[in-house]
Every structure is written in C-alpha cells, then in structure tokens.
Structure 1
Amino acid sequence: MNTTNTGDLPPQVLEWLFKVVNSTYHNPRKTFQDVSETLIGNRFLRPRTRVFTETDGKSSLLLCLYGKVPAAIAVPVHVWVPPEYPIVAPFVLVDLESLGENRLQVSNVLNSNGKVSLRGLKYWEPETSRIATLLQELVYLAQQDALIRPLDTSQEAPILPSRPPSRPPRPSRPNTTTIPVSSSESSRVTSPVATPPLPPKPINRPFSSSSRKSTRPALVSPTLMTPPPAPAAPQPDLIDNFEMQAANPYHERALQKLRDLLEQLAREDARVVHETLETRTQAISVSRDRFQSLYKQEDASVQTLKSSVLTTTQVLSSEIQALDTEIDKAQRYIQEYGPETKIDDMIVPESPVALQLYGLVASDHALTDCIQALGRLFHDEAIDLDVFIKKTRSMARKQFQVRVHIMKVMEHT
C-alpha cells in the first residue's frame, strides 16, 4: 500500500481530517489517503463537514470537499464523501447557492438538480478508483464543456437600467453594515450637496420622496447582488492562512504520531498482502501438481484403454479370419463329400439296450440332485423334518431301484 505524502498540508488540517474519518467512515485509512491526495493535487478545494440530505430525506453529517473548478467560468462544486467510501462512490454536485448570476448548462452529464454524471462514477471500482481521478475528469469536463453559463441579460431588463453606472463604495462608518439605510441617508449619498456641516437642511418630505424613488433601485441592487452568508468553515482558513513559523512541539508530535501510524498500517498491509500471496501461490502450486498427477493418471488410463482396444481389434480380426477359413473348409467338404450329416442321427444309439441305459443313468443323476436339493432346503429351514425324511426315503428307494436296473442291463450286455 502506497502512503500519501501529506507534507504539503498544514498539521491542523491533517489532525482534523484524521479525527473526522476515524469517527465517521468505515475505511478511514483509504478515505484519509484519497482525500489528502485530492487536496494536495487540487489546491482550489477545501474540506469541511456538512449535513447532506439524500433523495429519500435521510440526513447525515459527511465530509465535503468544496471549491471552484478553474475554467472559463469557474464552477462551484461539492464533492460529498459517503461513509461507505470506497465501496460507494462520492457524490459530485454543483453548488447552486454559489452560482450567483450564472445558471446550469443542463446536458447529458449535468441535470437540473446540479448532479454531475462522470464516467468515473459510472464505472466506479472500489479497489482502483480514487477521488483525485474524478477531480481530473471534472476539471477536464469543465474546461472543455461549459457546465454553467451566465444568465440571459434580456431577462434582467427591468432591473439593470436602474443600476447606477458604478457601485458606490461602502461607507467608512462601521455601523452601516448593521443599521438599515433610511431615505434621508440615501439622499445624502446620492445628492450632489454632501458638505458635512449642512446634511440636515436638504432633508424635507418632497425631496425625500423623490430621492427614495431615485435610489430604490440602488437599494434593491446591492441586496440582490449580496450572496447569502456562508457557514463558518475554519478548515479552509487553516489551509489559506498557513504560514511557515516556529514549529509547535504539540503539532510536530501529533504529526509524527500520524506518520508513524500510517507507516505501521502500511507495513501491516504489506505483510498481510505478502502472506496472502504466498498462501495463494502455495495453493495454486499444490493444485497444479494435483492436476498434473490426475492428468497423468487419466492419460495412462486412456493409453491403456486404447492399447486394449487395439489388441481386442486385432484378436477379433484374426478370429474372424479363422472363422472365414473354417467356413470355407466346411463348404469345400460339403461340395466334395455330399450333404451335411444330421446331428440327431449321430446322437441316437445303435441299439435299444444302449438307449435304455442312457435313460437309467440320467434318472440316477437326477435323483441324486433332488436329494441334495432337499438337504439344502432342510438346512435353510424351508421344509420340516418330517417332509425331508419322507421325501428323502422315497427318492432313495427309487434311486436304489434304478441302480439295480442299471446293474442288470450291464450284466446282459
């Protein structure tokens, strides 16, 4: 994290700004750095705290950077820093109270309420965007495209002719700013007879009435031209009236503590960022090695499957060729030795005795399988003991008879 060089700002302003951002803002470090950088790079701006009212009527005390942007017609602006900065972008507004004889030049970047729509606000990025960048864009916009323009002089026709050719200087008496000017005093100012010994004599009702009529525009004009009193802002005075003088030990200690704190925060941020980068680098390295291992395993599996498919294809091809060869031999045999022999004729025995013997042997094997199946059913408790004994004895008797018959057939053959 790069710390901002705050050496160009008075220590009083730095202390005040540091207290404001620490008590109000969610990210005081980022806010302090960006505001300090903006004040150093834009000397026409001054900081102060002021109540900001949102569109929904909610009011809050926010840090405001105000001043006049240098241009052909200086543009008075307010840059409001929200408490959620830098997550939420600042609000850039034209100061309508300080326009004087000028009016807004409504366009696609400035609406009738004085809100300025900058490109930096539209594409605001909390991690990279800064107030100083917005001010650079605002200055360029104000110098290229006029954001305000003078009032149309044709609309002031009833007032302008009544103004005197030159505004009279303010009276040197101190009570003229608080005591209302009477008609007689106005007549003394505008009357050609202004010798000190004779001011009361020209005062009379007819002359006072005529002088009131002649001087009414002069009274109205200063009133219209006088801007409303601005609220007290000690912070701009600190910047404007700051002079190099003997170092105040308290200010020097406070400024040194502030610098030490900023350096400590910068070191902590650098350490956290370094540790985070090392952790992420190790995680990425482990993930990469794991991916390489998985890739090698999958590649080996694919290669094995590919070789297996090739081997199977070769075996199938050779077997198909062997089958084709056997089919060709069978077809040649049929052509040479006549039609094929039926399988049933080869299985049928030559004599009835042999056929009877085949049937007896098959019955003997079938009875043996049945007795074994009854034993498994009994062990699985699928049948009772009585059923098992009864069925087993019956099949054993039949098997005994079959075997006796087999022995008799064997003796006669």
Structure 2
Amino acid sequence: MVDESRLKFWLSKYQNPDIVLRDILTVTNFYHGLIPTQELYTFNDGSRKELVNLSGTIPVRFNGTIYNIPICIWLVDTHPNNAPISYVKPTADMAIKVSMYVDHSGKIYLPYLSDWVPNSSELLGLIQVMIVTFGEQPPVFAKSKENDVPYPTGSFMPQPGGNYRPPYPTGGYPPSSGYGNYPPYPPSSASGYPAYPTPYPPYPTPGGFGTPGSLVPGTGTIKEEHIRESLLTAIEEKLLRKMKEQFQQHQAEMETLKKTQEELRQGKVKLEGILGRMEKEQSDLDKNITLLKDKEQELDKAIEKISNQESIDVDDAVTTTAPLYKQLLNAFAEEAALEDAIYYMGEALRCGVIDLDIFLKQVRTLSRKQFMLRAVMQKCRQKAGLSC
C-alpha cells in the first residue's frame, strides 16, 4: 500500500508533483512489486539530490516461465519533461548480462528512453517496454559456483549527469556470459548454492532443448518432447516479436490519438468561447429590439396625437411673459438670421456670385449689427437674472 501523504511530501520539490504522483500510483497499481522510496542520487559533477525512485521487481516471461527481474527507476525532478534513469539491480547471487540494452553497471538503454517525448511518454509504457525487451534478452543470470566472483557491495550505479538520453553502449557480451544471447544455466538448489528467493522459478537458462543431460543415455538422439519444446520456444519468440511490434504500433497510434484529442479539446474551448460571445450578442440584440419597439410605439402615439390637433401658428405658439423676454427673443432670432446671412454671403463669394469688395462691405455691416444684437441679449439676460 503506497503512503500517498508521504509520497506527496517527497514530491513537493518536483516541478510537476501532480503528474509524477499520478504516474507512480498508476504503476504501483499494475505492478505491486515496485515500491516508491526517496534516496540521495549522485550525479557526474558530484552534486547530490534527493530523488524518488521505484525499486523492486517486474514479471518477465522467458521461455514460457515468469521471472522477477529487479530494477530501479529514478524519477528526475523535471519529470515528465526528461526521461527517468533506469537500472537493473542484481542481488548477490546474480550477475548482469551485458547487452545492447544493459551495460556492465546495470544501466538500461532503450529507444523508449532515448526518444522520450514529454507529456506523451509514460512511466507505465516504459515498464511494459522493459518487460517485452527483457523477455527476449534477459538482463541478469544466476552465478555458478565455479565462476562465482564476489559482487561489489557498494553502489554499482554510475553517476549520470544532466544528459538523460545517452547513446547505446557499444560493448559486447562478456566471454563468461553463457551460450549465444542467453545467460548460462543457474545453479540448482541441490548443489548447495542458493537460488534467487522469489515466488517464481530461478532466472532463465539458455537453450530451448532442456538441460545438457536430457538426451537419451547412450543413444545421443533427441526425444519427441525436445522437438516439441523447441517448436514451442520458436513460436513463443515469434509471438513475442509480433507482440512487441504491435505494442509499438499501438503506442504510436495512442500518441496520435492523444494529440488529436488535445487539438479537439482546444477547438472545443474556442467554440465554447465563440458560442458564449454569440449568446451575449443575441441577448443584447433582443434588448435593443425591445427598446426600439417601445420607442416606436411612443412615436406612433405622439404622431397620432399631433395629427388629431389643429394647426398651430408658430408665431402664436411662441409667446413671452414679459417685454424683457420678448426683446431677448427678438434679438436672438435676428442674431441667428444674421449668422445665416453671413454664411450664405461666404458661399456666394466662393461660387463667384459676388465680388470681394461687396462681400467685405456687407459682412462688415452684418457683423456690426450682430455685435449690437449680442450686446442687447447679454444686457437682457443680466436684467432678467439669467446666466450669460
């Protein structure tokens, strides 16, 4: 059972703690043999940092038998922007099987790690790729008593630097690594040498025809069950290759679907924004239509009321209550008329109807009258107590 509160405390210094927590919980739900812990990790430059890692075993099927492969996956504090750092952690009675996927120190090199894509590559997918790859090339083998060499008790991991996508190792298989691409036979429990204590059988043995003593004594012939076992092994290896190809194909399809899903999600957000603006504009338009209809009704009523009334003389309609106000009204009307006269005099000059001399003479006369009228209006407003 994973302690989520402690795990959240460990991930508090990570850049994306929620994403890392989700990936760890997803992996531990599928693979109960992996347990998250926090330990110090030393980089090439000597710097040390506390990182969360997943340590334990993953089930790998080899030649029809399931084995527990011990691994350790370090999650950097920039996860998932950078790939995890993965190692095989053999026990004291095991040795590392060097291959194109695992170097002598146990570090794991996979295309999934070197081609790690942020927000697309997942920790669960990495472990599934490990299971398929190690099912074809086991990363460890049990030590035999004859070539047993004490394994270093200190940290066997190199201190990687900031490069999380190292090139593939160029080293080959060691001379004592067994037959062909398979690890040597693990020692049996009858020899007195302890086997790897797991609920599954010991780590894989080479060959598809059983043990060297399985031939019929004295005849050198192969039994029918040996041929059957060889055929089953060949079929299993072919199925594993097909499964790996299908897994990679499905993974590429999933990445394409995720990208399409993200684009659709962004398009949905844009469409929702456009629909929201359209609904607001529709609401405003409805309000304006209602207001215009009300104003139209008011105008219709006013027109109907005016049409029913008798014609009114404008001069009779405008009346004053005192002689002072009448003088002010007459001065205002005459001043407005002079303003119009000056304007049309300017238009006549522009069109060439009158000469400049006539224009200037008439404008001086009209301006003098306009000035006097404005003075009268100001005097009247002062007497009436109106604002000037």
TM-score by length of 1: 0.35
TM-score by length of 2: 0.37
**Highest Rg: 1 or 2?**
1
Higher normalized helix content (fraction of residues): 1
